[in-house]
Amino acid sequence: MKEFKYVITDELGIHARPAGQLVKKAMGFKSTVSISCPKGQADCKRIMAVMKLVVKQGDEVVLKIEGEDEDAAAKELEEFFKTTL
55-68 burial code (b ≥16 CB/10 A, e <16): beeebebebbbeee
- Residues annotated as catalytic are 15
Nearest alpha carbon to residue 26 among 59, 55, 65: 65
